[in-house]
Amino acid sequence: MLKRTLVVAILALAIPTVALAAKPQASTSKSKAAPKVTYILKGTLSDFAAASTTANGSVTIHVTHSNYHAKALVGQDLTFAVSMTTPTRLMGGTIINGARGIVKFRAPLKVSNTTLMTALTATTPMTSKQIIAH
C-alpha cells in the first residue's frame, strides 16, 4: 500500500511539471531574399589584369560551357572584376590570352536572362568568386 501511495504521489507531482515545460519557439526569421547560387562558366580567358591594393583587376571569358544556372550565357564574352581576395589558380602567375579556364560567380537563383545579362554587362563588372586557368 505504501508503494502504491508513493507511486501516485510521484505521478501527481510529475504531471504538472511536464505540462509547464517550455515549448521550443518556432523560427520565424526566414529570409525573404532569393537564395544565391554559384554560376560556373568554362571557356577561353583573355585580357587578364591582376588586382592591386588600390584597384580591382579584370578578366574576360568567352563562355563555351556552363552549369545549369548559367546556360543563357554560353557564347557570350563577359568581363569580371578580380579583387585582392578572389582565389585564383594561375599558371605562371598570369593568364595568357587564349588560355582555357573557369570563372565562378554568385548571383540570385531564378534570375531572368535579361536581368542576369544586365548585371553582367553593367559599367561596374560583377566580381568573380574564383578563377582557375589551365
**Residue recorded with cell 525573404:** 32
Strand 88-89 and strand 130-133: the pairing is: parallel
Whether 9 is in a domain gets the answer no
- Provide the residue count of the chain: 134
Instruction: Residue 92: name the closest of 58, 59, 48 by CA.
Output: 48
Q: Give me the domain span that covers residue 105.
A: 42-133
Number of domains in the chain: 1
Predicted model pTM: 0.71
pLDDT tens, the chain, 134 aa long? 666 676 666 766 766 655 555 556 665 667 777 788 899 999 999 999 888 889 989 999 999 999 988 888 899 999 999 999 988 887 777 788 999 999 999 888 877 777 777 777 676 678 888 988 88
Q: Which three cell numbers stand for residue 118?
A: 544586365
Whether 51 is in a domain gets the answer yes
Whether 80 is in a domain gets the answer yes
Q: Distance between CA atoms of 69 and 84, rounded to whole angstroms? A: 26
Backbone angles phi, psi at 69, to 5 degrees: -65, -30
The pLDDT score that the predictor gives to residue 118 is 76
At residue 14, the 3 state secondary structure works out as helix
One-letter identity of residue 22: A
Whether 99 is in a domain gets the answer yes
Whether 32 is in a domain gets the answer no
Whether 21 is in a domain gets the answer no
The pLDDT score that the predictor gives to residue 90 is 79
Whether 90 is in a domain gets the answer yes
Whether 11 is in a domain gets the answer no
